[in-house]
Amino acid sequence: MAQATDPRELLRFTTAGSVDDGKSTLIGRLLLDSHAVHDDQMDGLRRAATLRGETEMDLALITDGLKAEREQRITIDVAYRYFSTARRSFIIADTPGHEQYTRNMVTGASTADLAIILVDARSGVLPQSRRHGLIASLLGIQHLVVAVNKMDLVAFAQDAFDAVVVEYTEFSSRLDIHDVTFIPVSALHGDNVVARSDRTPWYDGPSILHHLETVTISADRNLVDFRFPVQTVIRPHQDFRGLAGTVISGTIGPGEAVVALPSGIETRVKRVSTHAGVLDEGVAGQAVVIEMDDQIDVGRGDMIVRTHNVPTVARRLEAMLCWMDDERPLSTSTGYILQHGTRTVRAHVTDVLYRIDVETLHRVLVDTLRLNEIGRAAITLSAPIFYDAYHDNRANGGFVLIDPASHRTVAAGMLRHASADTVADGAGAPLDVAVADGRTSARRGGRPGAVSPNVVWEPGVVDRAAREARNAHAAAVIWFTGLSGSGKSTLARGIESQLFDEDRQVVRLDGDNVRHGLCGDLGFSEADREENIRRVAEVAKLFFEAGQIVLCSFISPYARDRAFARSLIPADRFIEVHVRCDVEECSRRDPKGLYARARAGELSGLTGVDAPYEEPVAPDLVVDTALTSVVDCLAAIRTAIDRVG
């Protein structure tokens, strides 16, 4: 059995921050004080200091290798350095601080387990500090160290450190990073870099090196989902046929049942080996050769996975993009090449959904992305790829877009869930509204709404206006739409409680509750979902005509069905609230355990996972529960309701 040559665990980390915050100096200090700088490098540093007429060595020169970097004393390119201690081995990516080099930060952080963001104690948290935190979050980095540098220039004042902690804690609470450590340092003098400093007696945490040596990263690695993109087929002679590549996630051993994608052919693993010999098990990160029991037809770009643990296979995708092309912005009329692992396919960006404002984290509606901008886009491919959502499996959830003419890498992407084929193929046609028997009905794609023959709408003895006068408030329908776990029911219950306490006539219809009776005979096919919303919309109309404020909390995934509900209510009395929340965050919350069951293969047709959700194009109100507190969301909804009267 082949053995690993170095038992020490490898930690990859990246540094980032605003210009002149001291990233390269910090790395230089780490390397110097951990005895990872060679004698000839030390001699070079001393000569450089003498030529500059300086008494202290410039530690940044250890990592700033380009002539332009040395002249300007800034980092332009990504500098990689390796060092080790008795506990761990490290690979460092020193990335630029300038905004125009954000793409370099994405490159350096794409494989990192941890990010160190430097903040100047004098300047506090700057836009670039936030930008780099956002990028770290999008790239799935689970551990963040905020190094408050240049503490020597503020006399090691605790107040300066605490101010950064408060501000960045508030910002990072809205990111998908749950391990944030703050350390006060002076990279120039080495305080709290390798050893604890006597000049910060008020700080009782670890030094940076101690934190790097002890932070737990094993739990961040995906050792469950076996993914093996085939790089090449090895056939030295007719008696041997092996598939060569790197196990990018999970583990694999002899005798395990696997399936080849896209062919779907099933077989079993016969042997796993490396140049050093046969393995009992291949693990993530290892380059191996896998032999199969059967001589199946597999080539470069195909993927081997476990039979009962298959990734998403799709041609229509949604992804977060960081645009890297400094010559041209993203174009929805230009074709690109998508490189995903060893697989390369033609790609077309069909829609830019939004751009993220890195300072506020708000989503801005745009039709393109420019250099260093980050946003969400829909992409259609010429052939399917086999991927996991980046949030679940970084190794199989990332890709790059390449310009087919210049062969430049123009974007880095993080895959999300598959876009619905029905949406991409033009389903969800505009709603035709007609008047029948004195009231509004709807036809979806030429299919009539549910109106029985030979019936006439019977007006009530007491009309809605009289009921509204007695209630002292207008009737309205508030329609909450969003993914499971987005917070629809929480917000609807909160509004119901507020209105009831104010003596308003309010009723709440909930997605699960109506399926206990009114819609208990329906399943979750597209037709059943449509019928479910049709029935709910009709019930909401009845309550509305009775003078009630009707709160409807339903996923309601199809735009045409929400449009039907709107068509039943006067335009100024219907409020569509899009409760927006990324499927990754909904999956993390998973209040009903649906996402866990879907991942385990126990549940199919879950909206946002393997069933489509058509986001509202122009809702009356959008509340993002991943970025906004429940209190603020409720306040925004109440403002919209109060406008009705």
Q: Which residues are catalytic?
A: 556
CB 555 within 8 A of CB 581: no
Q: 20 burial class (0-12, 13-18, 19+ CB within 10 angstroms)?
A: middle
Q: What is the strand order of the sheet 439-444 is part of?
A: 432-436, 439-444, 447-448
- Show Cβ contacts of residue 516 under 8 Å, excluding neighbours closer than 6 positions: none
Q: Which two tokens stand for residue 307?
A: 């039979």
The tokens for 398 are: 């990332």
Is the link from the previous residue into 262 a cis peptide, with omega within 30 of 0?
A: yes
**Spatial contact of 387 and 319, defined as CB atoms under 8 Å apart:** no
Phi, psi angles (nearest 5°) of residue 70: -65, -40
Q: Is 113 in contact with 141 (CB distance < 8 Å)?
A: yes
Q: Are 568 and 538 in contact (CB under 8 A)?
A: yes
264 phi-psi bin (left φ>0, alpha ψ -120 to 50, beta other): left
- The residue among 412, 413, 414 whose CA lies nearest residue 324 is 412
Distance of alpha carbon 481 from alpha carbon 45, whole angstroms: 61
Give the full edge-to-edge strand order of the sheet including 549-553. Answer: 506-510, 549-553, 476-481, 574-580, 621-624
Query: Structure tokens of 181?
Result: 């450590």
- SS3 at position 314: strand
Cα pseudo-dihedral 274, 278, 284, 290, rounded to 10: 80
User: What are the distances in angstroms from CA 538 to CA 241, 468, 473, 482, 631?
Assistant: 63, 20, 22, 20, 31
- Pairing of β 335-340 and β 398-402: antiparallel
